[in-house]
Amino acid sequence: MLVQIFFWMCIFILAQWLNIFWNKKKNIMNIPGPTPLPMIGNALLFSGPSEDFMPVLTNMMKQYGPAVRFHLGLRVNLAISTPEAFEKILSSNKQLTKGDDYRFLWDWLAEGLLTSTGKKWQSRRKLLTPTFHFQILKDFIEIMNDQSKIFCDILHSKADGPAFNIFPLLTNCALDIICETAMGKKINAQKDSNSEYVKAIYKSSYLFYQRQTSPWLWSDFMYKLTPAGAKWRKYIATLHSFTNQVIQERKLELQNHDETSTDLGRKKKIAFLDLLLKESKGGTVLSNEDMREEVDTFMFAGYDTTATNMTFTLYMLAKHPQIQRKCQEELDHIFGGSDRPAESADLAKMKYLESCLKESLRLYPSVPIISRKTGEDVEIEGYTVPANTNIVLLPFHLHRNPSIYKEPNKFDPERFSSINPQKRHPYAYVPFSAGPRICIGQKFATMEEKIIISSVLRNFNLKSDVKVEDIPLVAEVILRPKNGIFVTLSPRN
């Protein structure tokens, strides 16, 4: 009996594998790529530690070219890294559906703005866009300044001391900002870094990466039976419990206090959640679950991404003292040596600092991988790619393309200088994606990063002895330095 079962299992596996080669059009076998193994495809290429993920993709691009076909399980994927290919996908209203991997986030984010598609995405995008209007974002500047002061106070305690890891400190700062602006909730992560919410976000991100690269974990039923599945449910329960509690508390608070009430003469701060509650029309437009999925999405997309870019920007400035000094000269000119908090008009004048932030995002895009599922046949790099193909877009590799950027691994903010603009393909730089699904929070992120980075540079000089090649990069949804970034600080006069 067991022999018969084994025999038919082998026949089934062989049939599934041969089907890949028989159905060449669906599996785009005319596009270069590694030969898939039965059932698991090319998953073994990605079975190493998470810091090997990006180098594996880099090697595939070198071996097979800018469009590479690879299989995860029985699912075919096409990885692309040219601006022309990016434009074909990101600019099209027919290619709006997120890739298959995003379904592994549904337990956490449900079908919010990041993961939804079709009419639901369109209605949510239309509903949420006004909440990111610049005039509304200006109200968040005070929160960002308050948190940047706390951050700099922490840095003062480390100045003139040994090298320390600045990444977790920036992560806690960004988390405090996003919690207060998104939910109106102070969690004091900078002063109490042992937050269960923080731990749950990081551990969930790792489990998501682990699952998306392991076809044997794709079945929801089977995943629930694994230890990883049990941990996943535990972390998601922690995240949802926190958000649900905040929504209920905020509802009660808004019922008991008028939105325009003042506290000691200061206007009450309005959070992203408050705007959602207002638009919910008492639950007729947005239910509690709808609001939770959008707040969770804003938290997921809006804190780790900014923390990562700020970390890499400060690291790049620490490695390039001349560029650091040029930023400080710009800030000295804007603030005249005062210690006043940054205002909206100040941020608009930080042109060179903005170029540094952009160049940092070029080298280290916070979201190094985007995926879409083709809604119709599309021609990419001379190949016809059928509908329902999973497209893996690689901003990390696009931004380091030597045919687009001279000395692509060099940190050179002048690439984004408004004085000496460089002509590039409009889809050669996409740190916030592009097209109809471009990141809705781009202005929010830029505002936060300018305030935090400018505060640090106004107070400190930075140095780092860590070599770029000694920083392993982990692509678990967000691009992170695996072991952090170590810097030393000295106070400025």
pLDDT digit string (tens) for 71-110?
A: 888 889 999 999 999 999 999 999 999 998 889 999 999 8
- Would residue 20 count as lying in a domain? no
Q: How open is the CA angle 168-170-174, to the nearest 5 degrees? A: 115
- Would residue 3 count as lying in a domain? no
What's this model's pTM, rounded to 2 decimal places?
0.91
47 phi and psi angles, rounded to 5 deg = -85, -5
In this structure, are residues 339 and 479 in contact, taking their beta carbons and an 8 Å threshold?
no
- Would residue 22 count as lying in a domain? no
Q: Residue 265: pLDDT band by 50, 70, 90 thresholds?
A: very low
What is the average pLDDT across 9-20?
A: 58
Contacts of 156 (CB under 8 A, 6+ apart): 459, 491
Of 130-134, 175-179, 381-385, minimum mean pLDDT range: 130-134
At 275 the pLDDT is 82
pLDDT digit string (tens) for 224-245?
A: 999 999 999 999 999 999 888 8
CA atoms within a 13 Å half-sphere pointing along the CA-CB vector of 460? 25
Consult the annotation and say whether 327 binds a ligand. Answer: no
Q: Sort 87 into a burial class: Cβ within 10 Å, 0-12 / 13-18 / 19+.
A: middle
CA atoms within a 13 Å half-sphere pointing along the CA-CB vector of 272? 30
At 266 the pLDDT is 46
Output the six-digit token pair for 438.
């471009």
Which domain CATH number covers 74? 1.10.630.10
Q: Residue 29: pLDDT band by 50, 70, 90 thresholds?
A: confident
In this structure, are residues 88 and 380 in contact, taking their beta carbons and an 8 Å threshold?
yes
Range of the domain at 453: 31-491
pLDDT digit string (tens) for 337-368?
A: 899 999 999 999 999 999 999 999 999 999 99
- Would residue 12 count as lying in a domain? no
- Would residue 297 count as lying in a domain? yes
Contacts of 365 (CB under 8 A, 6+ apart): 395, 396, 399, 431, 479
**Alpha-carbon gap, residue 28 to 43, rounded angstroms:** 17
In this structure, are residues 176 and 158 in contact, taking their beta carbons and an 8 Å threshold?
no
Greatest Cα-to-Cα distance within the chain, rounded to the nearest angstrom: 85
Higher-pLDDT residue of 421, 429: 429
pLDDT digit string (tens) for 129-146?
A: 887 877 778 889 999 999
**Alpha-carbon gap, residue 218 to 223, rounded angstroms:** 7
Contacts of 26 (CB under 8 A, 6+ apart): 76, 386
Contacts of 490 (CB under 8 A, 6+ apart): 159, 160, 460, 461, 463
- Would residue 348 count as lying in a domain? yes
Q: How many domains does the chain have?
A: 1
Output the six-digit token pair for 91.
């600019």
- Would residue 13 count as lying in a domain? no
Rg (CA), the chain: 24
- Would residue 279 count as lying in a domain? yes
